[in-house]
Amino acid sequence: MNIILVSEHLAKARTITLGPLHLTLAAATMLSIVVVMAGLLHYALLRLAPGLDVPHLESFFVTRDERQEKSPFDLRENINAMAIRVGQLQAQLLRLDSLGDRLARIAGFKPQDLLFGEMPGQGGSTPVLPRQDLSLGDLTQQLDLLARQLDDRGDRLGILESLFTFDRAKAQLVPTMLPVEAGWHSSNYGWRIDPFTGQRAFHEGIDFMAEQGTPIHAAAAGVVVYSGFHPQYGNMVEIDHGNGLITRYAHASKRLVNMGDVVLRGAKIAEVGKTGRATGTHLHFEVRRRGAPQNPTRFLRLHG
């Protein structure tokens, strides 16, 4: 290869001849310079990258050892977070168990039948084998199991609460409460000698002896369908409890409710008197189903 040099400082052009050896030495020199520059650049980046606020550059130069040291720490944080979640689910399960225990007692179950809220007995000697931390998979399974248990307990308690609410509402509409306190029977339901005629006659209710003005209470919740004066029953109140059940309260001295009123179980509806066809102060109490008289004792026995 010939190189011709031309310059105003030279009297004439010069020619330089480069052979294969010269070209090889030049290429080796250039390659050496590139390698040295690349090494210097790499060294500078390693020294300066940690001090630069460039996230992508910093993450690129994280060493393998640093990544291995960081991974177990993050995993332990995840396990701890999941362990806290397990504790929260367990606390929620205990609250559901407490609710179930209260509902079971109100519904009449024996505590030993359901054992809501009681932790199962566990124990044993100290394990011989070394203890192990729960893995991420183990905690995931525990969370899934607790979630299923919570759903199951919630469904069961929901059914129990619905049954209890229905039974309680149904019981409120059945005349099982005594209409007067501290009263005793002066005449029972059934055949008797009529006090006015002396003849054998059927008595369609129960007579409760009580003092004048003694409060008369509704034996069950319902709607007042009659409140007025009857020629034979005197001041009388009738309450419709639904399902064809009606209770009748007769011979009252005073009526405290009007037709159409909604009364609750135990509400004061009248006061004992002797109006109408009565020989003395008392309450005549009847229970009728679809118009037919029923023995009130069959209902009042349910109160006990």
SS3 per residue for 233-302: CEEEEEEEEECCEEEEEEEEEEECCCCCCEECCCCEEEEEECCCCCCCCEEEEEEEECCEEECHHHHHHH
Task: For 225-275, write each residue's pLDDT tens digit.
Answer: 999 999 999 999 999 999 899 999 999 999 999 999 999 999 999 999 999
CA angle 87, 90, 92 (to 5 degrees): 110
- Contact 257/240 with Cβ under 8 angstroms? no
Task: Look at residue 304 in the predicted model and tell me its pLDDT.
Answer: 45
Q: Which helix (H) or strand (E) holds 124?
A: none
Task: Look at residue 67 in the predicted model and tell me its pLDDT.
Answer: 47
The residues that bridge with 217 in the sheet, in sequence order, are 268
Task: For 29-63, write each residue's pLDDT tens digit.
Answer: 666 666 666 666 655 555 555 555 555 445 544 45
Task: Look at residue 211 in the predicted model and tell me its pLDDT.
Answer: 93
Asked if the model's pLDDT at residue 214 lies above 60, the reply is: yes
pTM of the model: 0.53
Task: Look at residue 185 in the predicted model and tell me its pLDDT.
Answer: 81
Task: Look at residue 60 in the predicted model and tell me its pLDDT.
Answer: 46
Task: Look at residue 181 in the predicted model and tell me its pLDDT.
Answer: 86
Task: For 58-113, write each residue's pLDDT tens digit.
Answer: 554 445 454 445 466 666 677 777 777 777 777 777 777 777 777 777 667 665 66
Q: In the chain, pLDDT over 70 holds for what percent of residues? A: 64
CA atoms of 277 and 19, how far apart (whole Å): 150
CA atoms of 214 and 276, how far apart (whole Å): 17
Contacts of 211 (CB under 8 A, 6+ apart): 272, 281
Structure tokens at 248: 């009748």
What is the pLDDT of the chain when averaged over all its residues? Answer: 77
